[in-house]
Amino acid sequence: MSRARPAPATEPPGYARVFAVREFRAVFVAHAFSLLGVIVSEIALTVLVYGLTGSPLLSALTFALGMLPYLIGGTLLSGIADRYPPRRVLVVCDVVCAGCAGLMALPATPVAALLALRCAIALVAPVFNGTRTATLTDILGDGDLFVLGRSLLRIVSQSSVLVGFGLGGVLLTLVTPRAALAVTVGTFTVSALVLRCGTRRRQARGSGGGTLVRYSLSGARQVLGDRRVRALLLLFWVPPMFMVAPEALAAPYADEIGIGAGGVGLLMCALPVGTVAGELYAGSALSVSARARIVLPLASLALVPLASYALTPGLVPALGALTLAGAASAYTLGLDRWFVDAVPEELRGRAMTVHTAGLMTIQGLGMALAGLAAEFYAVSTVVAGAGVLGTACCLLLALEVRRTRDGGPRAPVADPVRERTTELRDGADQHVTDG
């Protein structure tokens, strides 16, 4: 079991302690370069496919293909995260992405191959993300430093929504789409080199037999079969599923209230701004026990601001509601701690991969359902409905999480040693939560 590195009781909370860990600095820099590669490749590929085909459908499909393979990679390939040394997995995933981007940049690559290569990048993404998150527990321990490190990576990802697409657009005014794809070869390569040289080699967590697919599916069954872990996963997944409704429908809502194209950009930015602000505040100003206490209240009420769309608010009130909803995502800091405490170390790579795959998949499903509902109802009604229905689901999930924390029935565990370890973890979790 990895050793937690709790901060002394007198040490104030904050992110500076995380950056003091040399290996985390390497992971952070690699994450920034890898994320830059993904964003630039998405924009460049969309422009390239549209330029080659003139088809809006195929152009949009390049974005969809960034989400669809997550479910496949996150379930059938999740065993890679535990079966092989983590540093090797991370470096190989970056090399695969660099190779795919390099093939995309070739002038002779046809559209079908471009889309297939996009799928390949998306297929390895959940394995990479799950392995990296599990590796954070080795680098930072499974205590507060892990929570803050995980939060920083999320903040970078959210911030990329605000600036990444703008930078990609500027790049495409200077170079061709294929040249921009060539730039992403460099970003993925830099990420691989930083991880290879900046992190230690560690042994694989698991050594399960059988084929990779069987090992992966076995891990997914263990993760989803544990009542506590399953409840925590759903609390990660369900709020974002409903939260994406106003983002997916930003353009039609702007048209509905007559604010023009400029308002669309503001509506798209409000949720990420709120999310970054909420996470920064929770990570820098709240103690460990305070972050644990706000998990269930914030998760339960995060979607309530969306109900204000029933009044068809103008731009400023809508931005306020979206920013407030985004800020409530600060509940994930405490939830991260509960989740890593609930998952056995030998299962963490697969658990984190399933978590990543499920989150991306369920957000894609949420976007699709919001768009479908908007075909029959006003956008304001759809977003308000998402807020009300989502709040009801989150309240039920919060009750389930509380029951499992307070000693409710869990799925049976075959190994008595693991069962005893789980009981001890639950007791520690209860102590932390009660402050």
* pLDDT (mean) for 17-26: 91
Instruction: For residues 279 and 158, give the distance between their C-alpha atoms in angstroms, rounded to a whole number.
Output: 10
Chain segment 336-358, per-residue pLDDT in tens: 999 999 998 888 989 999 999 89
Which two tokens mark 228? 């506590």
In a domain, 6, yes or no: no
Chain segment 294-334, per-residue pLDDT in tens: 999 999 999 999 999 999 999 999 999 999 999 999 999 99
One domain for residues 269 and 280: yes
Would you say residue 58 has pLDDT above 90? Answer: no
Q: Is there a contact between 402 and 426 (Cβ–Cβ < 8 Å)? A: no
One domain for residues 326 and 393: yes
- Given pLDDT bands bounded at 50, 70 and 90, which one contains residue 59? low
Instruction: For residues 379 and 420, give the distance between their C-alpha atoms in angstroms, rounded to a whole number.
Output: 50
Runs of H (alpha helix) within 286-434 = 288-293, 295-301, 315-327, 331-342, 348-374, 379-405, 416-433
In a domain, 392, yes or no: yes
Total count of domains within the chain: 2
Amino acid in position 73: G
Would you say residue 411 has pLDDT above 60? Answer: no
One domain for residues 274 and 396: yes
One domain for residues 276 and 157: no
One domain for residues 239 and 266: yes
Which two tokens mark 43? 């924009």
* pLDDT (mean) for 66-77: 80
Residue with tokens 């991880």: 195
Q: Is there a contact between 337 and 146 (Cβ–Cβ < 8 Å)? A: yes
One domain for residues 100 and 236: no
Would you say residue 230 has pLDDT above 70? Answer: yes
Between 299 and 34, residue with greater pLDDT: 299
- Given pLDDT bands bounded at 50, 70 and 90, which one contains residue 66? low
One domain for residues 218 and 302: yes
One domain for residues 214 and 202: no
Q: What is the pLDDT of residue 240?
A: 93
Q: What is the pLDDT of residue 36?
A: 82
In a domain, 190, yes or no: yes
* pLDDT (mean) for 258-285: 87
Least confident window among 37-46, 116-125, 382-391: 37-46
- Given pLDDT bands bounded at 50, 70 and 90, which one contains residue 277? very high
Between 2 and 139, residue with greater pLDDT: 139
One domain for residues 112 and 42: yes
Q: Look at residues 155, 182, 207 and tell me which one is the last residue of a structural domain.
A: 207
Q: What is the pLDDT of residue 53?
A: 82
Return the percentage of the chain with pLDDT > 70, whole number: 85
* pLDDT (mean) for 405-427: 44
Handedness of CA 351, 353, 354, 359 (dihedral sign): positive
Half-sphere exposure of 29 (CA within 13 A, CB side): 18
Q: What is the mean pLDDT of the chain?
A: 84
Q: Look at residues 207, 235, 261 and tell me which one is the last residue of a structural domain.
A: 207
Q: Look at residues 190, 207, 224 and tell me which one is the last residue of a structural domain.
A: 207
Chain segment 104-142, per-residue pLDDT in tens: 999 988 988 988 898 888 888 889 999 999 899 889 987
Which two tokens mark 35? 């994320």
One domain for residues 277 and 145: no
In a domain, 309, yes or no: yes
- Given pLDDT bands bounded at 50, 70 and 90, which one contains residue 409? very low
Would you say residue 11 has pLDDT above 60? Answer: no
Which two tokens mark 200? 């230690």
One domain for residues 169 and 202: yes
Instruction: For residues 6 and 140, give the distance between their C-alpha atoms in angstroms, rounded to a whole number.
Output: 9
Return the percentage of the chain with pLDDT > 90, whole number: 44
Q: What is the pLDDT of residue 419?
A: 39
Task: Indicate the length of the chain as a whole number.
Answer: 435
Q: What is the pLDDT of residue 329?
A: 93
- Given pLDDT bands bounded at 50, 70 and 90, which one contains residue 164? low
- Given pLDDT bands bounded at 50, 70 and 90, which one contains residue 406? low
* pLDDT (mean) for 54-72: 72
DSSP 8-state class, residue 409 = -
Q: Render 77-134 in DSSP notation, one character per residue.
A: STTHHHHS-HHHHHHHHHHHHHHHHHHHHSTT--HHHHHHHHHHHHHHHHHHHHHHHH
In a domain, 197, yes or no: yes
Q: What is the pLDDT of residue 192?
A: 95
Q: Render 226-250 in DSSP notation, one character per residue.
A: SHHHHHHHHHHHHHHHHHHHHHHTH
One domain for residues 101 and 199: yes
Instruction: For residues 269 and 246, give the distance between their C-alpha atoms in angstroms, rounded to a whole number.
Output: 11
Of the candidates 267, 301, 312, the residue with the CA atom closest to the CA atom of residue 387 = 301
Q: What is the pLDDT of residue 311?
A: 93
Q: What is the pLDDT of residue 383?
A: 94
* pLDDT (mean) for 8-12: 44
Host domain of residue 143: 20-207
In a domain, 24, yes or no: yes
Would you say residue 154 has pLDDT above 70? Answer: yes
In a domain, 9, yes or no: no
CATH assignment at residue 40: 1.20.1250.20
Between 268 and 298, residue with greater pLDDT: 298
In a domain, 263, yes or no: yes
Least confident window among 135-144, 166-175, 215-224, 228-237: 166-175
